[in-house]
Amino acid sequence: MWRKLLSPFARLFEFQAKTHYRAERHSMALTIGIIAAASVGGIVEIAPLFTIDDTVEAAPDMRVYTPLEQAGRDIYIREGCYACHSQMIRSLQDEVDRYGPYSLAVESQYDHPMLWGSKRTGPDLARVGEKYSDDWQVRHLVDPRDLVPESVMPQYAFLLETQLETASLPDRLAALRTVGVPYTDEQIENAASDALGQSRPETDRADGVAERYGDATNIRTFDGRTDLLTEMDALVAYLQILGGLTDVAAETQPARGE
Amino acid sequence: MEMSHEFTLVLAKSFGLFYLIALSIGITAYAFWPSLGNRFDTAAKSILDDEDGPCR
Amino acid sequence: MTQLKSGERQLAMILSGLVLLAGFLLAAAGHGDPMGVHGWIVVLFAAVILVVAMRALDDPEPTEDRTMSYYDDPTKVGIVIALLWAVVGMGMGVWVAAQLAWPDLRFDAAWSSFGRIRPVHTSGVIFGFGGNALIATSFHVMQRTSRARLAGQVSPWFVLLGFNLFCIVAASGYIMGVTQSKEYAEPEWYADIWLVIVWVVYFILYMRTLARRNEPHIYVANWYYMSFILVVAILHIVNNLAVPASWGGAKSYSLFSGVQDAMTQWWYGHNAVAFFLTTGFLGMLYYFLPKRAERPIYSYRLSILSFWGIVFFYIWVGSHHLHYTALPQWVQTLGMTFSVMLLIPSWASAGNALMTLNGAWGKVRDDATLRFMMVAAVFYGLSTFEGSFMAVRAVNSLSHYTDWTVGHVHAGAMGWVALITFGSIYALTPVLWRKKTMYSWKLVEWHFWLALSGTVIYVFAMWNSGITQGLMWRTYTESGTLAYSFTDTLVAMHPYYIARAAGGALFLAGAVLALYNVVMTIRRVPDHAPHLDYPTNSEAAEPAVPAGE
């Protein structure tokens, strides 16, 4: 049996030995030529960006996403929200007037991956945080056309019924730390508990969140349900922090006087 | 590790430019090399009749 | 299977057994996660192949001398699979388009939202339809232009079926919400690793076949296919660098963040356009168009120059997706400059194709297959011009984020990529299956006009909607406030979204006709010649490859 199974490999070696290849210079030259021609552009454009920290504006107040917000971000990715919503306000007057100060590089420095987007079937969301109430966001996600009759956005009512999976959050935060987000050991250990705590104000867990992520953290029952920590909680927590990780954009770009 | 942003920028840009020039010269020379003309013509025509199997 | 020797059948068995095992591992590790479901999909896929290989294990050895003929079976299967993906992918496209016009067509399920099925559409048409067509035609072209048989019996199947396993895992993943959110690179880490393995085998196969060639010069179509294989490998590996959250789940986090990630993503994204959707299909064009027109390419030298031009210039242009963003200005400017320069080699290619047809216009008029290729070259010229134009910063400020971009992509994808593919498939099908003719030329003619009108309707609808939306966004009232709310622009888009869905539906109808026509050709049209390739000369009686193969 073994002999029969191994025989094709034996043939493979024989084949290598027996076959006489012409010195194949042409296709090798072609391969090297293509790689040489095609790699330069990428190297020249991308490599300097990894030294960009020298030049971008510093944001000492920049904070990381809480576990609940990060879980919401993962849901945002899972549902493909980025296909219709950008998170990048360009430095054009009408965009600044419509959406707020233009986006700075530092604001997405903890975004693995970035969600700048490429298409605005719906409006930009880079600064949507705190623009609407939690209640508005929940109702809008449950049925967009209830609040905006012209909307073409899909309904996401099921988020309000689905329990948020928090067990994997420590792993996820740890992976994010591996790629460069400065989560502390304590933050990683308590990730699952903090996710629940952020939507349960006035509890011990909530105090832990404030202690680890700062007093400015939004600690609210985002979806209005106290019986269950839902995916809606996470997504709304994420939406409400968009544009709110640092104030550097608002500070460096004073609003245009009317 | 004195790789400042400015330095890598200058390096990238100047290297890129020289590379562009060298590559275009090389390719133009190859494409118009007189002795290769026949080979190109043969190759261009050879595909018109190739359904008769591998010539072994 | 009948063409495989027993050793090769065993190898096929072992390989599918290994994949089966990998599937079990994936299913076990990812229990309770979408990754587990993917494991079972892999198991099922591998099991089917394993059964096929096992049942053929004791079949008699092939009798004919295989070195005498080209190996076309993988190409045949690839063409049919490509057409199936075309119908699925374009069907999804029509559905997502309809959802934007009538959002209730989503039917309230979690999996059917626009965000989840849009990547099924994009991956379905780009990788499923385009990728299979590229692999299948590259097998055909590399053998013909080298006048040598494929360098392997099992590896072509491994490449073709392995690639389709990747496509299936990708598409089913999106529906379950498994995505990296990187456009056109959505599949998660395990699918990415699998694709790398498949791709390496593909590259080795191509190199080995070229090494067997009986022509001194490598025909230029192969250059284009080679650049497609090579550069896609580089792009794929770099852009998909990520750290999985755990080995037991699908979720991973990109190694890059923020502005670096944006640049890497669009370096990938635009070069997926360049090296997946352009150079590979130019390889198709440079083979099938001269072949069908029965005239050599107008200028072979020009084809070489434009090849290097495209390979070199394209790689720079990705940053034009990021005008006015937080990306440093100098990178934006570089991207813009190269995008404009890119017009030269692009138009050289399109012009070269059209000049080849000069003197054969009678054929173009009568033969819908050649007309597919001609119109494809025209759309290639148009959409590359449009692309260079849209990469200019001032134009981009209007077009970016709007449907104009979508229209531009579809002018390229439908007008150029799909039309050249359909043209090539119609040219290839009778040759591959040794049939006198296609089942129905009338249907080809119908397909041509359906595809053309669908594309034109789609592109015009998106131009109108994109420019309207871009202008509305930036319109101010006399008192200096924005004139239109975002919702106002949505209302203005509605009629164009309906027109777009209609255009897409016409195009889809054409693809269905193509599938039907090809299947009927295989089943109904009488054979043209015996099922055997004959060698050209008497020396061919001596096989150059040892009998041990």
pLDDT in the model for residue C548: 37
Does any CB of chain A come closer than 8 Å to the CB of residue B33?
no
Q: Which residue has the higher pLDDT, C65 or C270?
A: C270
Token digits of residue A247: 């104030």
Average pLDDT of chain C is: 91
Q: Amino acid letter at A209?
A: V
- The residue of chain B nearest to residue C537, with distances taken between CA atoms, is B55
A194 touches A212 (CB < 8 A): yes
Does any CB of chain B come closer than 8 Å to the CB of residue A40?
yes
Q: Which residue has the higher pLDDT, C323 or B36?
A: C323
Q: Which of A167, A234, A74, A166 is nearest to C254 (CA)?
A: A74
Q: Is the confidence at residue C171, as pLDDT, over 50?
A: yes
B10-25 pLDDT, tens per residue? 777 777 778 888 888 8
* DSSP structure class, residue A227: S
Which strand (E) or helix (H) includes residue C100? helix C73-101
Q: Which of C543, C435, C526 is nearest to C69 (CA)?
A: C543
Q: What is the mean pLDDT of residues A186-211?
A: 94
Q: Who's near A85: CB < 8 A, 6+ residues apart?
A: A117, A120, A121, A122, A123, A124, A125
* Residue of A30, A104, A150 with shortest CB distance to C491: A150
Burial C47-85 (b: 16+ CB within 10 A, else e): eebbeebeeeeeeeeeeeebbbbbbbbbbbbbbbbbbbb
Q: Which of C75, C71, C336, A206 is nearest to B53 (CA)?
A: C71
Q: Is the confidence at residue A53, as pLDDT, over 70?
A: no
Contact criterion met (CB < 8 Å) for C68 and B53: yes
Q: Is the confidence at residue A16, as pLDDT, over 50?
A: no
Contact criterion met (CB < 8 Å) for A38 and C234: yes
A151-178 pLDDT, tens per residue? 999 999 999 999 999 999 999 999 999 9
Which strand (E) or helix (H) includes residue C61? none
Interface test with C, best of B9, B10, B50, B56 (most C CBs within 10 A): B56
C503-544 pLDDT, tens per residue? 999 999 999 999 999 999 999 888 875 544 443 333 333 333
pLDDT in the model for residue C538: 34
pLDDT in the model for residue A8: 52
C369-423 pLDDT, tens per residue? 999 999 999 999 999 999 999 999 999 999 999 999 999 999 999 999 999 999 9
Q: Amino acid letter at A80?
A: G
Q: Is the confidence at residue B42, as pLDDT, over 90?
A: no
Does any CB of chain C come closer than 8 Å to the CB of residue A41?
yes
CA separation (Å) from C239 to A203, B4, C256, C322, C346?
42, 24, 9, 17, 25
User: For residue A163, what are the β-bridge partners?
Assistant: A230
Place of tokens 């040219």: C427
User: For residue B16, what are the β-bridge partners?
Assistant: none
Question: What is the C-alpha separation between A55 and C485, in angstroms, rounded?
Answer: 36
CA separation (Å) from C422 to A34, A233, C273?
28, 48, 19
Q: Is the peptide bond before A48 cis (omega within 30 degrees of 0)?
A: no
DSSP letters for C330-360: HHHHHHHHHHHHTHHHHHHHHHHHHHHHTT-
Mean pLDDT is lowest, of C58-67, C299-308, C431-440, for C58-67
Q: Which of C387, C356, C203, C198 is nearest to C278 (CA)?
A: C387
Please report the ipTM that was assigned to this predicted complex. 0.92
Q: Which long-range CB contacts under 8 A does C261-264 form with residues at least 24 apart?
A: C261/A111, C261/A112, C261/A113, C261/A114, C262/A108, C262/A114, C262/A116, C262/C322, C262/C325, C262/C326, C262/C327, C263/A45, C263/A46, C263/A49, C263/C318, C263/C319, C263/C322, C263/C327, C263/C331, C264/A46, C264/C238, C264/C239
Q: Which of C158, C12, C264, C245 is nearest to A47 (CA)?
A: C264
C131 touches C167 (CB < 8 A): yes
Interface test with A, best of C181, C202, C265, C316 (most A CBs within 10 A): C181
pLDDT in the model for residue A254: 65
Place of tokens 């990469």: C391
The packing angle between helices C419-432 and C486-524, to 10°, is: 10
- The residue of chain A nearest to residue C32, with distances taken between CA atoms, is A165
What are the strands, taking DSSP E only, across C197-327? 242-244, 252-254
A60-74 pLDDT, tens per residue? 888 999 999 999 999
- 3-state helix vs strand vs coil in chain C, percent to 5: 75, 0, 25
Mean pLDDT is lowest, of A37-46, C310-319, C471-480, for A37-46
Q: Give the CA dihedral C117, C45, C2, C76, nearest 10 degrees.
A: 10
A91-110 pLDDT, tens per residue? 999 999 999 999 999 999 99
Q: Which long-range CB contacts under 8 A does C232-236 form with residues at least 24 apart?
A: C232/C199, C232/C272, C232/C275, C232/C276, C233/C196, C233/C199, C233/C200, C233/C203, C234/A35, C234/A38, C234/A39, C234/A42, C235/C267, C235/C268, C235/C271, C235/C272, C235/C275, C236/C185, C236/C192, C236/C195, C236/C196, C236/C199, C236/C268
Contact criterion met (CB < 8 Å) for B3 and A51: yes
Residue count of chain A: 258
Tell the burial category of C545 from Cβ atoms under 10 Å away from its Cβ (0-12, 13-18, 19+): middle
Percent of chain C, pLDDT > 70? 96
Instruction: Name the minimum distance, in Å, from the CA of B29 to any CA of chain A.
Output: 15
What are the strands, taking DSSP E only, across A83-218? none
Q: Please tell me which of A246-255, C41-50, C306-315 the model is most confident about, judged by mean pLDDT.
A: C41-50
Question: What is the C-alpha separation between A19 and C72, in angstroms, rounded?
Answer: 23
Tell the burial category of A51 from Cβ atoms under 10 Å away from its Cβ (0-12, 13-18, 19+): middle
Does any CB of chain B come closer than 8 Å to the CB of residue C216?
yes
Which strand (E) or helix (H) includes residue C394? helix C393-399
Q: Which SS3 state, helix, strand or coil, does residue A22 take?
A: coil
What residue spans define the domains of chain C?
1-58, 72-242+255-524
Does any CB of chain A come closer than 8 Å to the CB of residue B8?
yes
pLDDT in the model for residue A22: 42
Contact criterion met (CB < 8 Å) for B16 and A55: no
Token digits of residue C228: 């497609």
Q: What is the mean pLDDT of residues C202-209?
A: 93
Interface test with B, best of A26, A32, A44 (most B CBs within 10 A): A44
Q: What is the mean pLDDT of residues C229-243?
A: 94
Question: What is the C-alpha separation between C143 and C130, in angstroms, rounded?
Answer: 20
Q: Which of A256, A216, A238, A237 is nearest to A100 (CA)?
A: A256
- The residue of chain C nearest to residue B17, with distances taken between CA atoms, is C334
* Residue of C253, C481, C497 with shortest CB distance to A175: C253
Question: What is the C-alpha separation between C149 and C151, in angstroms, rounded?
Answer: 6
CA separation (Å) from C13 to A10, B37, B39, C61, C81?
16, 48, 44, 16, 22
- CATH class of the domain comprising C72-242+255-524: mainly alpha
pLDDT in the model for residue A4: 55
Mean pLDDT is lowest, of C2-11, C150-159, C174-183, C435-444, for C2-11
* DSSP structure class, residue B56: -
Which strand (E) or helix (H) includes residue C22? helix C6-29
CA angle C218, C224, C229 (to 5 degrees): 105
Q: What is the mean pLDDT of residues A4-23?
A: 47
CA angle C339, C343, C345 (to 5 degrees): 115
Q: Which long-range CB contacts under 8 A does C9-15 form with residues at least 24 apart?
A: C9/C53, C9/C56, C9/C57, C9/C59, C10/A4, C10/A5, C10/A7, C10/A8, C10/C57, C11/A8, C11/A9, C11/C154, C12/C49, C12/C53, C12/C154, C12/C157, C13/C50, C13/C53, C13/C54, C13/C57, C14/A5, C14/A8, C15/C154, C15/C158
